[in-house]
Every structure is written in structure tokens, then in C-alpha cells.
Amino acid sequence: MPTGKTPQGSPNDTRTLMTFIILAVLFTSILNMFLSAVTTRKVEEITYTQFLQMLEEKTVDSVEILEDRLVITQKSQQSPEEQGELHYFDGAQRYFTGRVDDPDLTQRLIEAGAEQYAPTQNNSPILSFITSWVLPFALIYALSSLIMRSVSKKMGGAGGPMSFGKNTAKIYAQKATGVTFADVAGQEEAKESLLEIVDFLHHSDKYTTIGAKLPKGALLVGPPGTGKTLLAKAVAGEAHVPFYSLSGSDFVEMFVGVGASRVRDLFKQAMENAPCIVFIDEIDAIGKSRDNQIGSNDEREQTLNQLLSEMDGFDASKGVVILGATNRPEVLDKALLRPGRFDRRVIVDKPDLKGREEILKVHGKDVKLDDDVDLHQVALATSGGVGADLANIVNEAALRAVRMGRSKVNQSDFMEAVEVIVAGKEKKDRIMTEQEKKIVAYHEVGHALATALQKNTQPVQKITIVPRTMGSLGYTMQMPEEERYLMSKEEILDQITTLLAGRSAEEIIFQTATTGASNDIERATALARSFVAQYGMSERFDMVGLESIQNKYLDGRSVRNCAEVTSAAVDEEVLRIIKECHEKALKLLQENKEALHRISAFLLEKETITGEEFMEILHQEPQKEE
């Protein structure tokens, strides 16, 4: 797969090459000096007469006869016991003397018991140069290049010692991603916006005729898992033009200026390969607001400045489109979001009921489904789920069908998969005491009764006291009858009452309270606080916004917008609402105490009951004692 043209012969590359050559020559010289020092021992010069005297004393171990000198190795002064298996030069002293025309030299050496080495011939100068300089130079250059390439890859380089500032984008062409818009469901508005961009790349004439210009960039915004990256891959599959894909973190390095260099190189390649599409995932990694606060990153800010400059500088008529994706649009620099850079914001939000059903169909088309599967019911049970959640549910259902020994996936597999995603798998090794099981049963039936006895609630789908791996000892599952986008004041209060009904049942039956209601209390308090501070439903504060949402697409954390005194008053109002809903829950359960006992006894026996069984037992006439 081609990766675009890379400019060669730049001044930076030439300087880098010269640096490598100088370092290689320096290392080769040091290597030669080291080898010479290792192979050459300390050699003293003596006279020929001294040499003959050594032969007479039989202290010469060997003589090496060269063209202009004799190299004498004296026998070691160590005793045989100390020598052991002594190597040739170990413990010996070396001397040299000039070579004299002595016809009796060979005989003298034999009589002295010294070994004689014949004269050696000098090697070829060319061969000596190659072995001493060329081969070490080539070896050092190859090793250093390999090391730099490895370091460059680890630090985000493009794969070579002279590519540290090159961009690292993956490039796709044609349908290499294997994804088209047919594989994306539940995001029709987003697909429509991106399909227009793809159509502009293919048929630009009909747009330019009327005077329309191609948007320079489109920003995909939405919660995690909604399909932003999938949409970008679908654009690659539909566009049939070069498609560069990379993450915002690929630009940011520890060295200031590297990210800016990569941005320049990326846009240079994009212009050379126009028309094309560049996709930058998690663009908030480089696009954060330049606030100049403590802890700001100079490298990231320089990279952002370069990105802003490049997006202003390129000609959109050539067909280069920048796609960005983020789930933190509130932290992006305002200069990055203005028209002329990212002209269009594409919201990729959580899918509605119809969208969830379509997503389930897309992910279920390769799964063998039984005739009883109703994806509409599954979509109803997964309100608030995103594409990634639904894909996981389909896969979990298929895995469960295999575990159960079936060749097709049925409805029970899907509903169990929903429960696995929501509450975790059944924890079979957790054994509760009879008293604990009884408390949990009354707690869950308290939730269910409060749901059934109020008007503005969703019907009960299932009640269970089987522990789950995510920490719940039991739960009551509700199933909406239709998709809802708004909640009324009465619905919120009834929901708070339902959440508090579990603890209320414990108080009525056991005259005590347990830790099992901690999650219920947390959710009820958060809902009551939103009731007062965000939704403007409290009469005490009228329609004043006392809190705002931060990180809307992530944790949705609330931020206070009022004074300390007002915040204390908010706490008082929240406490009042909780108390009123608690009293209402106690009253509902006290009035239906007999039904509470009857349903709890059935739940203790069966451990899990359906919504139909619950309603049937609720409407049974109480048996009269004879």
C-alpha cells in the first residue's frame, strides 16, 4: 500500500547523513586504536649482542623473524607450578632487535630450544585498508542506523534515522477498511453529512457550478462507543480516495518541534495526493485550549499552532478534507472550531429506539438467530446503550447459545446478555444466609411494588435475588413500553420514591436498615439534586440554573454555579424531597403489606420471577384464614 511521497535531499537529511559519517569515522578510528592496543604488548629494544646472550642463557621462548627486525619473547619467570596451562604470551616479556645477516641464527635457536617463526609477508595495502577501515566503518554505520530506526519507531518515528519528523499516518485506499455506510446504523444524520462530503469529492462539478465550496473539515462529536471511528472508516470505504488515519497523540513527542514538523509533512503529502481525506482521532490530544496556565505543554501548543496554520493555508478546492473525532469538545481551542477550519460539527449521539434496533440487525446479520428473537424488545431493554454496547450484547448472546449447546441464538440469550452487560454474570459461588436472602427479597419486592402502585413508572420486567458479579445481591429490572425523551416532574418524584422503596421495605418488615440500599440512595440523591439545581422544578428556587454539566459526553460531572449560602439551601431542598418520597414509599408499602409478604415468599422460593408472574401474584385475592 503506498504511503505517499516523501521529500528527499532536504537540508535536515543532509546534515543528519554528515553527522552519521563523522561519527562512524570517529568510532572506526577508536576501534583501530583499541585493537592495536590490545594486540600490541610493551616491547623493549635490545642489542643483537644482548639477544645472543639470552640464547646462551636459554631464556628465549620464541623468535619471530620479520623483514627488518626480530621480535623476541622471553620465557616466563613463573615456576611450572604457577604457570599451569600457560598461554603463549601470558607472563612473558617481549623485545625486539634489528635483523643481522647471521647464517648461524637457525642453529643457535635450535640449541637454545627457542621456537622460530618464518618471515611474514606484508599484506596488500588495499586489503589492509579494507579490513582496517572500510569494514569497521560499514559495520558501525549499519548498527547505528538500526539502533536509530528502533528508537525512532518507539518514539513515534516513521521508521528510519532520517524520518523522525515525518508523519506516521496509516493510509488506506479504495475499500481497504472493509467498512461502508451500509455497515453503520443508527446515525442517519451523521451519515448524511459525511456522505455529502464524499459526493463532493466524486462529483465536485455540480457543487462548484452553483458556487458551493467543499467544507475544509468536519468534527465528529459524541460519547465513547457511538461509532465515530467506524464512521470515519466508512468514509474511507466510500470515498475511493487516499485516506490518512492517525491519532492526535501521534503528533505529540517529548521534543519541541517534532509534532509541528509532522503536521507540515502530513499536509504536504495530503496536497500531493489530493483529493484525499485526513482523519485525526482523539483530536483533543493536540487541540486543547491554549490557556497559558501552569503545566501547559509547549510541544502540544506548537503542534496546534502549526495545525491551525496548515488548515488555513491549504486550498480546499483541491479536495483535501480533514475529519476529527473527539468526546471532549468543550476543551478544544476556539480557534480550531471556527468556520474555515472545522466548518461542520457532526453529532454522533446515542441512538434512539429505532437506531438501536437497526444496529442490532447490522451486528446480528452474521449470527444465526432463532425464530423467537424479537430485536425490538432487546432495543427497548437497552435504553441509553451505544453501538459498542449493542455489538457486545449480540456477541454475548451468541456465546451463551454455544455454552447452552444450541445452534441458534434465541430471545432468552439476548435478554440474559443484556443482564450480563448491566449487572454482570450470575455469581454462583456466593452463598447468602437465609436471613440475608429474606432481606434482599423484601428489598427488591419493595422496589417492584412501588413501581406497580404508582402511575408514572415503567413496568417491571424481572425480579431476582441471584447475586451478580458487579456487586448487586439482587435487582428489579424495568422495561419501558416506548422510547421517552422527556421526564415530567411527577415521573422524577415517582422514580425517587421507587428507589427509596427498597430500604423502606426493610424498615417495615425488619425494623432495621442494611447497606444494600447504598446505590439506591446515591441515585435518588443525584436525581433529587438535578430536580432542584438543573431542571428548575423546585418551587423554592423557581427556574434558576444552579448547576451545569461538565464533560457532557464523558462522566457528565456537575459544576456548581451559585454561592455557598445558596448551595446550603439546595442541600436543604434536596433533603426535603428525599424525606417526602421516603414517607410516600413507607405509606405505599404499609398499605400493601400483605402483597409484600406474598410476593416476597414466592420470590424466596423461585429466586427469579418475571414481570407477568409478579403482576399475577399482586392481583391475587388474599386468602382468608378459616
* Phi, psi at 317, each rounded to 5°: -65, -20
Which residues, other chains included, contact 491 with Cβ-Cβ below 8 Å and sequence gap of 6+?
456, 457
Which residues, other chains included, contact 468 with Cβ-Cβ below 8 Å and sequence gap of 6+?
419, 423, 424, 425, 426, 427, 475
- Taking alpha carbons only, the member of 111, 103, 98, 101 closest to residue 60 is 111
Backbone dihedral region for residue 43 (phi beyond 0: left; psi -120 to 50: alpha; all else: beta): beta
- DSSP of 422-445: HH-SB-TT----HHHHHHHHHHHH
SS3 535: coil
CA distance 274 to 381: 46
SS3 614: helix
Which of these is catalytic: 282, 299, 416, 444? 444
Which residues, other chains included, contact 286 with Cβ-Cβ below 8 Å and sequence gap of 6+?
248, 249, 251, 252, 259, 280, 300, 303, 304, 307
**Cβ contact 104:89 at 8 Å:** no
**Cβ contact 173:244 at 8 Å:** no
**Cβ contact 534:547 at 8 Å:** yes
CA distance 433 to 561: 47
* Pairing of β 243-247 and β 170-172: antiparallel
Helices 135-154, 11-39: crossing angle, 10 deg rounding = 130
H or E segment at 446?
helix 434-452
**Cβ contact 231:184 at 8 Å:** yes
CA distance 175 to 198: 14
SS3 507: helix
- DSSP of 37-52: HHH---EEE--HHHHH
SS3 136: helix
Cis peptide before 2 (omega within 30 of 0): no
- DSSP of 356-395: HHHHHHHHHTTS-B-TT--HHHHHHHTTT--HHHHHHHHH
User: What Cα–Cα distance (Å) separates residue 348 from each residue in 121, 226, 337?
Assistant: 82, 6, 17
The C-alpha cell of 475 is what? 435487582
Burial of 512 (0-12, 13-18, 19+ CB in 10 A): exposed
Q: Which residue matches cell numbers 451559585?
A: 562
**Cβ contact 369:341 at 8 Å:** no
Q: Which residue matches cell numbers 414466592?
A: 602
DSSP 372: T
Backbone dihedral region for residue 241 (phi beyond 0: left; psi -120 to 50: alpha; all else: beta): beta
444 flagged as catalytic? yes
- Taking alpha carbons only, the member of 404, 397, 392, 353 closest to residue 373 is 397
* Pairing of β 557-560 and β 115-117: unpaired
The C-alpha cell of 178 is what? 472493509
The catalytic site residues sit at 444
